[in-house]
């Protein structure tokens, strides 16, 4: 069995441009981890090493449901090694390759969770910017719970890029300001999130080209294509507006921060949950079914009770009124009784008028 430092390596999970990922076991605690061994060039820059280790130290103390936990970070034989929580699931890239475009409800749910994770990391001082947000770095576990991976790696690569030709981020998901080597902030991650959002809805990114130069130009200057009519016909207008706001070329034209994305999507996430959890028709009147409000989900998915969100209220207002059977019988009986009383009074008045005759009584003289 191979060994890397204090970790016993079980098997290779994956390999990419950043390095290799192994399933491993901590020698003393027997804890299973995902061991990420980064390429040596990521640690050659002293500044990159410092930023990377600082960022990993911060992330190791996060306990957020949508962020992969970094358990430890060390240097072994000249290589940077991260021990991450071991996740069972599939990346968003694998999900899209298997299923194709996702429903707008699922896409909204995933985007809301990613935005919640970004809201936490962007809120650090200084902010932690992902710089390489893409389907490969989004893990789906326990159904559709999202875990954002690979924070910190792009930061080290960015520091290295000043002295090497190593690319920073993935061209397909880079913001215009990243491509132009301008100042990058939290809104760059939001642009990448918009690209991922579009791909989940349509099945492919908004900008595609076999030519890297043409792709660079499209990312910087071309407006994103309109959504296909089949997608647009089902997508709420508010969600569509947010999608294209995320894809604005100028950072100032995008949402101000990730929390704005979460707030914008919250009503649609609630509506989705209400539709998904709507109970089967029953004989109980609608008025007897209490409504509950449930906030946007960040934990593993479970069916939630019906909610009093805006869409549900509109549906309730437009639905036919349902009256209990006992009430209906009572109303009919009351109507019959009132009709009978009215008929009796009409007949009584008619007979009284017919019996009257001209006055014939004699005048009585007083007794003497």
132 annotated active-site: yes
Q: At what angle do helices 237-246 and 258-276 cross, to 10 degrees?
A: 150
Structure tokens at 324: 């209990």
Nearest-10 Cα torsion for 10, 11, 16, 20? 30
Residue 367: C-alpha distances to residues 106, 143, 364 (Å)? 107, 111, 9
d(CA 148, CA 125) in angstroms, rounded, equals 20
CB within 8 A of 5, min separation 6: which ones?
A: 74, 76, 81
Q: Is 220 exposed, middle or buried (0-12, 13-18, 19+ CB in 10 A)?
A: middle
Measured in residues, the chain has a length of 368
If we measure between CA atoms, which residue out of 143, 129, 147, 115 comes closest to residue 265?
A: 115
Catalytic residue among 109, 132, 257, 309: 132
Question: How distant is the alpha carbon of residue 47 from its chain centre?
Answer: 35
Beta strands in the chain (DSSP E): 3-4, 7-15, 19-26, 32-38, 70-76, 79-85, 89-91, 138-141, 145-148
3-state secondary structure at position 83: strand
Task: Indicate which residues carry an active-site annotation.
Answer: 132
């Amino acid at each position: 069995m191979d060994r890397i430092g204090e970790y016993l390596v079980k098997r290779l999970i994956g390999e990419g441009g950043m390095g290799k990922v192994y399933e491993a076991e901590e020698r003393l605690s027997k804890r299973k981890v995902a061991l990420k061994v980064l390429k040596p060039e990521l640690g050659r820059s002293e500044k990159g090493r410092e930023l990377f280790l600082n960022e990993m130290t911060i992330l190791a103390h996060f306990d957020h449901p949508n962020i992969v936990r970094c358990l430890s970070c060390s240097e072994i034989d000249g290589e940077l090694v991260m021990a991450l929580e071991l996740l069972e699931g599939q990346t968003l890239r694998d999900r899209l390759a298997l299923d194709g475009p996702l429903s707008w409800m699922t896409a909204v749910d995933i985007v809301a969770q990613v935005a919640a994770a970004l809201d936490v990391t962007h809120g650090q001082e200084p902010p932690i910017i992902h710089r390489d947000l893409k389907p490969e770095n989004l893990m789906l576990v326990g159904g559709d719970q999202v875990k954002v991976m690979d924070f910190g790696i792009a930061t080290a690569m960015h520091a290295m890029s000043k002295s090497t030709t190593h690319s920073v981020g993935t061209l397909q998901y880079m913001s215009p300001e990243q491509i132009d080597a301008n100042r990058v902030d939290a809104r760059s991650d939001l642009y990448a999130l918009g690209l991922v959002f579009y791909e989940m809805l349509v099945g492919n990114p908004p900008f595609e080209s076999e030519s890297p130069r043409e792709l660079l130009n499209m990312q910087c200057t071309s407006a994103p294509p309109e959504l296909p009519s089949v997608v647009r016909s089902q997508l709420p207008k508010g969600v569509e507006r947010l999608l294209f706001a995320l894809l604005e070329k100028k950072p100032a034209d995008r949402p101000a921060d990730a929390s704005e994305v979460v707030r914008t999507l919250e009503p649609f996430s609630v509506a989705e949950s209400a539709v998904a959890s709507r109970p089967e028709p029953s004989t109980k009147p609608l008025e007897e079914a209490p409504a509950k409000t449930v906030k946007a989900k960040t934990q593993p998915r479970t069916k939630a009770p019906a909610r009093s969100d805006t869409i549900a209220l509109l549906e309730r207002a437009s639905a036919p009124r349902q009256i209990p059977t006992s009430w209906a019988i009572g109303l009919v009986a009351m109507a019959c009784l009132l009709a009978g009383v009215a008929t009796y009074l009409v007949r009584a008045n008619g007979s009284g008028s017919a019996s009257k005759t001209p006055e014939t009584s004699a005048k009585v003289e007083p007794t003497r």
